[in-house]
Homo-oligomer: A and B are copies of this chain.
Amino acid sequence: MSKPALQNDRLLKALLRQPVDTTPVWVMRQAGRYLPEYRATREKAGDFLALCKTPELACEVTLQPLERFPLDAAILFSDILTIPDAMGLGLYFSEGEGPRFTNTIRTEADIIKLGIPDPEQDLGYVMDAVRLIRQELAGRVPLIGFSGSPWTLATYMVEGGSTKVFANTKALMFDRPELMHQLLEKLARSVTTYLNAQIEAGAQAVMIFDTWGGMLNTANYLEFSLQYMKNIITGLKRENEGRDVPIVLFTKGGAQWLEDIADSGCDGIGLDWTIEIGAARARVGDRVALQGNMDPCVLYASPERIRQEVAHILESFGSGNGHVFNLGHGIHPAIDPQHTAVLVEAVHELGKKYHG
């Protein structure tokens, strides 16, 4: 299938530190509960997981924010826990408690039994969604694919769901590091295969969400999280449809380790809001692009305040290539969509002075 030419390639260029006319912007969870049309589609789907697993509906919600805002990218609507679900853990969502698994992974026997999911066979609904979204996007903006990081997936698999304290996961890591490595090794292979399949299906950039890497100490982060993300990067297809496919790593709470992350082989680093983006740039230099990093709570404030914060972050990054504007974490469900419009407009308008 020949694909239509990409009309807006600001995102891909910025991630590759190439010149753009203004700073590109997209928003983590831009397809989400803050949009009434998303809530309507989710209602229609029945529940969140059905929405993820029905390509037509996943495509529908992926495109919704693009109808409202001149965003510079679409991001696949999916969940970070599709891989463990495909491994047979039985993902479900219980109201108010977030994701849960029917089966947990605690022992060597549990880990040995885990297979590497075949993306087209076991996660075909994701690949179908990617293909459908690309078709429906018709080249308007690039599509970002994604996966959870091995460490982040492991925390949910060992705990059986969300946790605040990571007691079981860390007990395994501290007491049986060789078992944790076996698990992470399988997850890294699975993520590599999964992201490559997304790229082949049409994802034009990929992002690895290391939501819980920041809960580790420095030595553990390097050994149990970053190392496996590096392994994934080594195995990824870096070019498709005649273009580079940029890779972004996002470790929430990872500001301490930016230099190490920049050395991972990734093209861009996703920053949470806690670090000043200019300070981050000073530390990593021009090795990688930076994506971020407004506190999502700024969107609760007035349009004037939002513009002021956008201006501050653009100025903090400064002139030159390699900035993709985003929030430092997902947009909150209670945000007024009009405030998102203010954000996107402000980035495009105020970003011009830092380019060309």
Decide: A217 near B295, CB < 8 A? Known: A274-B256, A332-B167.
yes
Contact mask A42-81 → B, CB, 8 Å, 1/0? 0000000000000000000000000000000000000000
CA distance A216 to B328 in the complex (A): 11
Q: Which of A85-93, A188-196, A240-248, A297-305 contacts B (4 or more CB under 8 A)?
A: A297-305
Interface segment out of the listed A107-115, A126-134, A168-176: A168-176
For residue A1, CB closer than 8 A to chain B, the reply is: no
In contact, A301 and B218 (Cβ under 8 angstroms) = no
Contacting B at CB under 8 A, from A104-154, are none
Tell me if B300 and A218 are in contact (CB < 8 A): no
Query: CB-CB contacts of A211-253 with B at 8 A, as 1s and 0s?
Result: 0001111111100000000000000000000000000000001
A356 to chain B, nearest CB (A): 28
B274 A253 Cβ-Cβ under 8 A: yes
Contacts of A302 in B (CB 8 A): 175
Closest chain B residue to A255 by CB distance? B256
Closest to A171 in B: B300
> Contacting A275 at CB < 8 Å: which of B173, B218, B276, B296?
B218
Q: How many protomers of this protein does the assembly include?
A: 2
A163 to chain B, nearest CB (A): 11
B217 lies within 8 A of A274 (CB):
yes
A5 contacts across to B, CB distance below 8 A: none
> Residues of B contacting A215 with CB < 8 Å?
274
**Would B275 and A334 count as touching, CB distance under 8 A?**
no
Cβ of A282 under 8 Å from chain B = no
Query: Once the chains bind, are B274 and A175 in contact (CB under 8 Å)?
Result: no
Scoring A residues 291 to 313 as 1 if CB is less than 8 Å from chain B, else 0, what string do you get? 00001111011100100010010
How far is B256's CA from A273's CA once the two chains are assembled, in angstroms? Answer: 12
Give the contacting residue for A218; candidates B221, B276, B309; CB below 8 A: B276
Query: Is there an interface contact between A275 and B297, defined as CB atoms closer than 8 Å?
Result: no
Complex CA gap A279/B301 in Å reads 37
- Assess whether A166 is interfacial by the CB under 8 Å rule: yes
Query: CB-defined interface of A273-288 with B at 8 Å, one 1/0 digit per residue?
Result: 1111001000000000
Establish whether residues A297 and B167, one from each chain, have CB atoms under 8 Å apart when the complex forms.
yes
Give chain B nearest CB distance to A342 CB in angstroms: 13
Q: A185 to nearest B CB, angstroms?
A: 21
> Which of B174, B221, B300 sits near A305, CB closer than 8 Å?
B174
Given A253-B253, A256-B274, A295-B170: A175 and B300 interface contact (C-beta under 8 Å): yes
Q: From B167, B171, B219, B297, give the contact of A170 (CB < 8 A).
A: B297
A177: nearest chain-B partner, CB-CB = B305
CA distance A218 to B273 in the complex (A): 8
> Chain B residues near A256 (CB, 8 Å)?
255-256, 274-275
Q: Can you list 30 pairs linking A and B with CB atoms under 8 Å apart? A: A165-B296, A165-B297, A165-B332, A166-B297, A167-B300, A167-B334, A170-B297, A170-B298, A170-B300, A173-B297, A174-B295, A174-B298, A174-B309, A175-B300, A175-B305, A215-B274, A217-B273, A217-B274, A217-B295, A217-B328, A218-B275, A218-B279, A219-B276, A219-B312, A220-B295, A221-B274, A253-B274, A255-B256, A256-B274, A256-B275
